Amino acid sequence: MQPTWRWFGPQDPVSLEHVKQAGATGVVSALHHLYTGEAWPIDEVRKRKAQIEAAGLTWSVVESIPIHNSIKLRTGPFCHFTDAWKDSLRAIAQGGVKVVCYNFMPVVDWTRTDLRWKLPSTGYALRFDVTDFAAYDLFILRRSKAEKDYSAERIAAARARYEQMTPARRDELEQTIIAGLPGGEGSYDRASLQKRTAEYEGVKPCDLRANLIAFLKEVVPVAEELGVRLAIHPDDPPWSLFGLPRVVSTADDARAILAGIDSQANGLTFCVGSYGARADNDLVAMVREFAPRIHFVHLRQVMREPDGSFYEAEHLNGSSDMVGVISALLREESRRRKCDRPDHEIPMRPDHGHLLADDISRRTNPGYSLIGRLKGLAELRGVIYGLKYADPQLAD
């Protein structure tokens, strides 16, 4: 597996020199300053590629090309933005990048309720607390008809939590949820979030899935022609937020996407943390089933809690069988090599490392500090080497 590292461009507090020191050989990046839905100019793609290669690294994966909201709703100028997405693919292909990670989450991207949750042992982690989220949705945002999306027990717990919050905590919670996290596709204030979620009233999961498949029917043939592999990222967290449909959360969702467009160019980003936030997702079984169409991997770990909350755990110590997932991926790589597939080496990256040591007092992007991810990458590489040593066939 190719060790890669997410880098947010020249403004990232983590330098490319530090990426190399962490042990990565590939970079996962995007043109975050051009996240409007318009096409990426080839000159900007080449500029980013040159920055990465000047540091002795390879631009391995684009994460992500944003998908305009009109495409998800299939309304308004969606044709224009679909064509722009195709043009971005063409620019990326000219730049030599072969894997594109993207997501289809409506309105809000990956979401957390706490960006500096104190771990029981040491350091800080990202956390999603289901009661905090419900408290925000019900009593701060006051979304219309929100009550129908929660049980009576959850509403009572959320009310009690809300009443315990100081005004400062309420403000902090709102900013954490709607201000946008690194790599996300937008941020909101309260009014704009209410407006945007209202646009999805009446949109069911089957409708959003149909819009996703319709989009893929447009872009996958272009990706095939260019030799680019598309890899959809799962929802994070993998369930409905703000009453919005989410359609990349389960094994059944992945099956529907892959069956919708049966092409090697239509594949998955297998995020262990996102799929692993649901106890009903059997991750090792999913890797084995979908392995030929897994083009990119996020080896991220979460610790699930009984009420559905979770926090970012150490990469090798959480609710998911990380070693089993890596073993299954290595077997897929071995199979691809025997079939002479040019994409036999799957790019992987550590994700959402803990805030540790000197990084605690430094400016960092939430979830993307240096030391926590360096620690995670070292552990993951150790597992890979150990599995190959124990079973030499995995290295063949």
Instruction: Indicate which residues carry an active-site annotation.
Output: 233, 271, 298, 351-352, 368
Question: What is the DSSP-derived secondary structure letter of residue 137?
Answer: I
* Closest C-alpha to 315, from 258, 390, 226, 383: 383
The one-letter amino acid code at 133 reads: F
Q: Are 40 and 34 in contact (CB under 8 A)?
A: yes
Q: What beta strand segments (E) does 322-368 contain? A: 347-350
* Closest C-alpha to 245, from 203, 274, 199: 203
- Give the H/E segment covering residue 312: strand 310-312
- Give the H/E segment covering residue 388: helix 370-390
Calpha distance 213→221 (Å, rounded): 13
Q: How far is CA 316 from CA 188, 249, 272, 273, in A?
A: 34, 22, 11, 12
DSSP strand pairing (124-128 vs 114-118): antiparallel
Strands in 302-304's sheet, in edge-to-edge order, are: 114-118, 124-128, 310-312, 302-304
Exposed, middle or buried by CB within 10 Å (0-12, 13-18, 19+), for 106?
buried
Exposed, middle or buried by CB within 10 Å (0-12, 13-18, 19+), for 160?
exposed
Buried b or exposed e, range 290-310, using 16+ CB within 10 angstroms: bbebbbbbbbbbbbbeeebbb
Alpha carbon 294 to its chain centroid, in Å, reads: 14
Q: Are 72 and 211 in contact (CB under 8 A)?
A: yes
Q: Are 109 and 186 in contact (CB under 8 A)?
A: yes
